[in-house]
Chains A and B, each alone.
Chain A
Amino acid sequence: MTAAIPIAIPIAVRAGSSATSGSTIGTGLQALAHEIVSHLERLQSTGESAAIDLKSLPMAPSEFNELRAMLGQGEIDLSLELDGPTRVRETAYPGVWWIQHQAENGRILAEYIEINRFPDFLSAQPEHISDAVRQLRDRLQGAQ
């Protein structure tokens, strides 16, 4: 197997910057905001994660920007280069992540809000861990 290409992951950790605290949410976004709150409550009580696909919502560009402003920016802003940029941002509301995958030409492949302790995309998947166990064991045995 060819070695995986190293990925540069610049991570910016900064103070949260939400300008929305206490401000009124427009009616067009209220349903979405309620849905996010509902998912957050479930995450808090049962640990169950959820995601909302933003590409499937019929939003005008202005509403999209309003939603972005409403959720604000949290401490983590992570960029990856994987056949085009991927950006994982924590919003001003801990547990609410804004994830955007772009192609090399800048086209947005997927964009969604994930309500989770940590984004699924960044977590090692069970089969990744199984491979890691096997590879590390093989290496240790080779070294003996």
Chain B
Amino acid sequence: MSNQDHKHRPTIGQILDENGVGRRRFLKYCAGITALMAMPPGMTAAFAQQLRAARRPTIIYMPFQECTGCLESLTRSFAPTLESLIFDTISLDYNHTLQAAAGHAAEEARHEAMKQAWGEYILICDGSIPTGLNGQYGASAGHSFIDQLKEAAEGAAAIVAVGACASFGGVGAAYPNPTGAVGVSSIIKDRPIINVPGCPPIPEVMTGTLVSFLASGVPELDDQLRPKAFFGNTIHDRCYRRRFYDRGLFAESFDDEGARNGWCLYKLGCRGPTTYNACATIKWNGGTSWPVESGHGCLGCSEPKFWDQGGFYEPVTSKLFRDNGQIAGAAAAGVAVGAVAALAARARKNKLAGKTDQEKSS
């Protein structure tokens, strides 16, 4: 099939009609997607019309310096499922973890798929790209990850960087970043890039971003290149425990009365106030729960350099006090209640440190 033939691929609507998928079934599917994307429910019909008109795209999925956690998450998407995406909507032409082919056969398949859909395919990247030693820390099929990324990016209509690593470098880039790991956007500058960060990202956010791209192209992005539909609000803004924060009711430890009453986890290090993601509304494991609902604070895994933002159990404003030593830091952050909580936590920490020193000297 030539590139010209690729442009004559059937539309998603044609595929659905051939498979007897009724229009209301499809409309319901789209209602789920538009709800995920925080689009007004009234937009569902228009979204469905756009998606029906889209052509079945080619997807090239390139893993780099990664742990496969993002792919594990993606394959657990409940709606839309990866299966339904693969068979009904997209054509996953290369993913060396999922595909049967290996070695030279796999690489040939990738190059053939890229050639057929040159300029049209969606490139999904997973994992950071090590730049140290001229890229020698990461290589596959005789080529460095940097070269593989540049080659695959050249013919891509858009690149979706899934996970904190592909988006911002992630754990690979954590201090002292021995491999010089970076995210895709640090290397590729001439292609549309959509970051879908998280460690891992919410599966429905990954699949929802892909479907959204099919229907209407690159979605509106924030300054970190994340789709605003999913990353437009902080965890804190959408948290059901927010009312306790507003009333100054905090859990002080994981087993105190506040924790049992479901009070705000800010003092226990929750990074909800500074983290943009959709966990509070989409939740995890098919909508079963999410970290805060399970009693643990948000780790901020969809933010750049989240591994290097201080201890996971310090209030988010602690580092401002560490840097400036003044309440002005908290005022700048706009969280007066948080300032008090952070000072209290710091005092508690100092007290504990003092106690430890005393124990050492005795």
| A-to-B contact residues, CB < 8 Å | 1-5, 7, 49-53, 55-56, 58-60, 80, 82-83, 86, 99, 101, 103, 105, 107-112, 114, 120-121, 125, 127-128
B20 adjacent to A4 (CB under 8 Å): yes
Query: How distant is B264 from chain A, measured CB to nearest CB, in Å?
Result: 13
Query: How distant is B248 from chain A, measured CB to nearest CB, in Å?
Result: 18
Query: How distant is A63 from chain B, measured CB to nearest CB, in Å?
Result: 9
Interface membership of B27, Cβ < 8 A: yes
Residue of B nearest to A122 (CB): B24
A2 adjacent to B18 (CB under 8 Å): yes
| B-to-A contact residues, CB < 8 Å | 17-20, 22-25, 27-29, 31-32, 34-35, 38, 40-42, 44-45, 48-49, 78-79, 237-240, 242, 280-282, 286-287
* B-chain residues with CB within 8 Å of residue A112 when the two chains form the complex: 35, 41
Q: Please report the C-alpha to C-alpha distance between residue A108 and residue B242 in the assembled complex, in whole angstroms.
A: 23
B281 adjacent to A7 (CB under 8 Å): no
Could you give 11 example pairs across A and B, Cβ below 8 Å?
A1-B17, A1-B18, A56-B38, A80-B24, A82-B24, A83-B29, A107-B79, A110-B35, A110-B41, A114-B42, A125-B45
* B-chain residues with CB within 8 Å of residue A52 when the two chains form the complex: 41
Q: Please report the C-alpha to C-alpha distance between residue A58 and residue B278 in the assembled complex, in whole angstroms.
A: 11
Q: Please report the C-alpha to C-alpha distance between residue A114 and residue B42 in the assembled complex, in whole angstroms.
A: 8
A53 adjacent to B41 (CB under 8 Å): yes
Task: Please give me the 10 A-B residue pairs with the lowest Cβ-Cβ distance, nearest first.
Answer: A109-B32, A2-B20, A51-B41, A110-B35, A110-B31, A112-B41, A4-B22, A58-B240, A82-B25, A1-B17
Q: Please report the C-alpha to C-alpha distance between residue A80 and residue B41 in the assembled complex, in whole angstroms.
A: 18
Query: How distant is A15 from chain B, measured CB to nearest CB, in Å?
Result: 28
* A-chain residues with CB within 8 Å of residue B280 when the two chains form the complex: 58
